Amino acid sequence: MIVGALLLSIAAALVLTLAASGWRRLFYETAAGSWIGVGDGSLDVGHAEPSRWGGQGPGVHIEDGGMQYEWWVTTETVFFPDVWIVTIPLWMFAVLAGVPGAVLFTLGCRARRRAKAGACAKCGYDLRASASGAPCPECGAAVIAKKTGTDAARAG
């Protein structure tokens, strides 16, 4: 359940980044002319020979965004054959984190709810009439015995 919640948090952060990236572009450029950045709803990775492209020089740069979101993966060469850019939309990363996160979170919540109700966390079989600590008769899953208020009253 924790992994599911973490993946959902990552997906939410990516969606917020997607929305904010239309206003500003943030990228890092190396002295060799390679760069990686986020802007216009996508992650861009590219390379250009500094002598051919000019660039802004090595370091972190912030520019105004164009509010022209990229929705599909693209590769392109710009102006010269030695200048290339690969664009990967951020929504793809959000889906890759969000879908498994939602599934894991839901499964974790379901198992916890079943265990509280006295059912097998794996298959949902009603274990209230079963011996305490015995495996589930339906699926054979190990059952963790926990003391309830009635168990404590019987023991004392």
In a domain, 98, yes or no: no
Domain count, the chain: 2
Question: Which single residue is written with the structure tokens 């949902």?
Answer: 124
**Contact (Cβ atoms closer than 8 angstroms) between residue 101 and residue 13:** no
In a domain, 110, yes or no: no
Residue 72: which of 51, 60, 90 has the closest Cα?
90
Helix (H, G, I), strand (E, B) or coil at 129: coil
**Contact (Cβ atoms closer than 8 angstroms) between residue 65 and residue 40:** yes
Question: Do residues 137 and 72 share a domain?
Answer: no
Question: Do residues 71 and 122 share a domain?
Answer: no
Question: Do residues 13 and 78 share a domain?
Answer: yes
> Range of 140's domain?
118-156
pTM of the complete model beyond 0.75? no
| pLDDT tens by residue, the chain, 156 residues | 677 777 778 878 877 777 777 667 788 888 888 888 888 788 888 887 766 656 667 777 777 766 666 677 767 666 666 778 888 888 888 888 888 888 888 888 887 887 777 888 788 888 888 877 788 888 888 876 555 555 444 444
Question: Do residues 84 and 15 share a domain?
Answer: yes
